Structure 1
Amino acid sequence: MKTKLALLSLFVSTLTFSEVVNLKKFDIEVPSQFMVPYSGDESEFKDGFKTGFGSALAFKNINSDGTIEFYALTDRGPNADIPKYLKDGKSVPGKFFPAPNFTPSIGILKVDDKKAEIIDKIELKDSTGKNITGLPLPLNRIGSTGEVALDLNMNSLGYDINGLDPEGIAIDKDGNFWISDEYGPFIIKVDKNGKILEKLEPGNGLPEIVKYRIPNRGIEGLTIDKNGNIYAAVQSTLNVDGKTKDTAIFTRVLKIDPDTKEVKTFAYPIDKNYKSNSAAKIGDIYAVDENKLLIIEQGKQKGKMENLIYLVDFSKADDITTLGNLESKGNDLKIKLGEKKLVVDLRKHGWDTEKAEGLTLLPDNKTIAIINDNDFGMAISEDVSPYHYNENEKQLYLNNKATNQKLTLKKNTETSQLWLVTLKEEI
């Protein structure tokens, strides 16, 4: 597939930059049959929500006609922040779910010279073959975020014991998908039809310490190297015992043997210019080779949003799996962390969306594909901060005065994009 020239940046140890020979951008098309149905009153969503197949990306194949196909993953579905929610006098976190029956899915994304379009999807199913949802897990279950799920009338939607918030995807040698999740965090093995075959969780397949992920910032990126090892990156710093999210200077990357379940853990050093260390977020990862990953790191640094792609090498890094709460050590770490070099600064080349969340590499080992999460093209119309809801009274308040107002949705102006960036040299 031929694409047009653009210039990007490759960071090397001498702080010089190497030429990039291609940059092509697409707005992702989602045909009506793959939209998310919505029964609300807002006319702008009469055709449903534009499904956000932008939480992760994996290469599928190049067809004989030169078109490229990817697997593109959704997250838990359309959701938005709720007002302060009081139950028995206590504030409870939560989210609006305007389409609570949405099933997280793997999309097939086809790209030619002119467009990028979703052509099919695979819905995720539990071990019995029943479609799951993206609703949060019941309270006190492994992976629960403690959230309530609400409709726009502030009614509880309940929980889903099999609920997932997918964020990373890769395919193994047998054609099974491996998907990471932000809730648990979990890693699940899924067959070609979307049925869950296996589930790894903190203390059972995953190191127990990862249960201290910041809520809704579980395992954001997942990839498989040429030897079949699974790598999974926690999105942000761990908050061990509620104390370390801003003392930690690294986030954890797991290396898992899917057969023996042996786990190694490496420390990925986050950048140093965040207002608080917990503001650093991993978008996705891709295994270039064993122990060498491309990784998206993003967040506001010195007040400016950054979306950066690094190459990180863990070949000399220490395995910290059994070393406990290193997050509390701050800068006083006595371990070897991963070594990273900047490959692409997306913002310098026109990236204007908040979240670069999918990343993969084409077989030429030069072309990086990046996709963003557009949050299903929706947001809450109102600023929810002046509102609160008293669950015991079943009453919504605006500036502490009871109101019958109903909260509504609006369009999110961010488009869903795919970028193909070709470097001059192989990674």
Structure 2
Amino acid sequence: MTGKIWLVSLFSISVLSGCANNGMIQAATSFVGNVPKQGSELPYSVLRGDLIDSKTNQPFEIRNGGFGSAMTANPNQANQFYALTDRGPNANYTGEYGKGKSFPVASYTPRIGLFEVESDGSISMVKSILLKRPEGSLISGLPNTSALGGTGETPYHSNGQPVLMNDSKPYNKDANPIKLDDYGLDGEGLVALKDGTFWVSDEYGPHIVHFDSNGVEIGRINAFKNDTRNMFYLPAVFQHRRANRGMEGLAISPDETTLVGIMQSTMQNPDKAAQKGNLTRIVTLNLTDGNTEQYLYRQEKAENANSEISTLTANQFLVIERDGSFLLGGPNGESKANVNAQKHVYRIDLSTGTPLSSVALSSSITRDASHGLMIDGLTLEQFANRSGWDALAEKGIKPVSKALVIDMVKAVSYPHDKMEGLWVIDGHHLGVLNDDDFATWSTKGKLEQKYLDNHTIDSNRLYIINADLMGN
């Protein structure tokens, strides 16, 4: 099954293959016309079925599932894609030890799934790759310590007890503390290379981690100079990521030399007040010498989410920009249905944006070691919030250009809140994948099933959209 590729014999067009690792080549696959408009469901197993839904008082399923945080082509087989989970099922929770997250499966290991689209449009799972530390032990999805970007999230079990180093013994600050994991990842971005290895970006550090084909860590990049695991470093400004909104998307240049990451939302640079804006950052990192560059992206609405970035050419990329609403109301009911839900895919061009390293310094424009480029003593986030994008342009700083390629609500009546995976199949077909949150939701810290409407449980679904991705 995994060795079959169906090629369209009736026509031949110049298209992109996967992440455009080979540029424009001849490739097209027959399954693109057989995935139904409402999408094909990914297979899942049940992680837990014993918890009680806080709304129905009935048992509900926590599913695995969860393969929707990122998506990318298998560069070596045209009808296969990889998909990434995040840290595992979780929900906001405040307990005896402060604000944090409830982890109903605290032992969950983040993973990469390989999926195959059959000629009839159905999807099968080929394998699951569990992510591991350099010595081969399994990582967790538990938060990092504060030294490596942790924001003080306390992990709790579903019964409200804290996750401890040894859960069989009582909490002790020194002898049996709350369990944190500096290898823990909340993965959100995924790149698959032709050599079989992967890069994963996350929301914790943010960290960018290189894994071999078996999921074992072989390299790491983040913004923390004291992290001896690093091969290269991100600019220090990325330490100011907003909690739960870190490096949400990751791509790589066609020649596989340069990673391109995008932050989900405006960073807390320098404080929480700054995060309520529409300025997000894109960073490029050369894997040969570690050199980085930054660009700005202007969102349509403040506090939107950039949930994915995928390669078209060396300078052109597709970017998801979305809000958090449900077309049909979701778990909050029909009264919260939003016909104006925003689930967009934009094409951007890095060559049209201002490389931040090129901005000339002056008495007005300075550079801070922690907060990056400053204008009149304000971070770029603060300055944009206060004075607007026209004022930024007057200072010689422009965001990358963007053009709407797909409106998923108009295209398929997209019912999900989260749109987080993009798969460039060819120049006219794009795979889109939602994050189903392991079919888990919470209201005021109480766990429940995640519904799209009054009866439909959210699940990972692959949609394939026919569109002119290159704008030709």
Assess same fold via TM > 0.5.
Answer: yes
**What is the correspondence of 1:28-427 to structure 2 with a 5 Å cutoff?**
28-32=41-45, 35-36=46-47, 40=51, 44-45=59-60, 49-60=63-74, 68-82=79-93, 84-85=94-95, 87=97, 92-112=98-118, 113-138=120-145, 140-157=146-163, 158-204=179-225, 205-228=233-256, 229-246=258-275, 248-271=277-300, 274=301, 277=302, 279-299=303-323, 304-321=340-357, 323-324=373-374, 325-330=379-384, 331=388, 332-333=391-392, 334=395, 335-349=397-411, 350-362=413-425, 364-380=426-442, 383-384=443-444, 409-412=448-451, 413-423=457-467, 426-427=470-471
Cα deviation per residue 1:242-277 (whole Å; 9 max; x = unaligned)?
155356442000111012110000001111xx3xx2
What is the identity, as a one-letter code, of the residue corresponding to 2:444? V
Contact 2:267–2:280, Cα closer than 8 Å, also in 1: yes
Please name the residue that 2:330 is paired with.
Answer: none
Name the TM-score, length of structure 1 as normaliser.
0.80
Tell me how far 1:409 sits from its aligned partner: 3.8
Distance 2:102 2:138 in 1: 20
Structure 2 CA distance, aligned partners of 1:227 and 1:29? Answer: 31
Structure 1's 168 and 156: CA in aligned 2 closer, same or farther, altered over 3 A? same
Whether contact under 8 Å (2:320, 2:345) holds in the other structure is: yes
Whether the aligned pair in 1 keeps the contact of 2:68 and 2:436 (CA below 8 Å) is yes
Q: Distance in 1 between matches of 2:398 and 2:292?
A: 17
| Identical-pair percentage | 30
Query: In structure 2, what is the equivalent of residue 13 of structure 1?
Result: none
Q: For residues 211 and 289 of structure 1, what CA distance do their matches in structure 2 show?
A: 29
Secondary structure in structure 2 of the residue aligned to 1:323:
strand
Q: Which amino acid is the alignment partner of residue 326 of structure 1? A: L
The question of whether the paired residues in 2 share the 8 Å contact of 1:221 and 1:235 is answered with yes
- 1:338 to 1:61, Cα distance in 2 relative to 1, 3 A: closer
What displacement does 1:29 show?
Answer: 3.2
Checking the alignment, whether the CA contact within 8 Å between 1:71 and 1:109 is kept in structure 2 is yes
2:463 maps to a residue whose letter is W
| CA distance, structure 2, for counterparts of residue 41 and residue 414 of structure 1 | 18
Count of equivalent residues: 369
Segments of structure 2 that go 5 or more residues without pairing to the other structure are 1-5, 9-31, 164-178, 226-232, 326-337, 358-371, 452-456
TM-score, with length taken from structure 2:
0.72
- Across the aligned residues of Structure 1 and Structure 2, the Cα RMSD in angstroms comes to 2.6
Alignment partners' CA distance in 1, 2:339 and 2:52: 38
**C-alpha separation in 1, matches of 2:275 and 2:458:** 30
Q: Structure 2 vs 1, CA of residues 371 and 300 (structure 1 numbering), >3 Å: closer, same or farther? A: closer
Which structure has the highest strand share of the two? 1
- Rounded to whole Å, the distance in 1 between the matches of 2:280 and 2:450 is 33
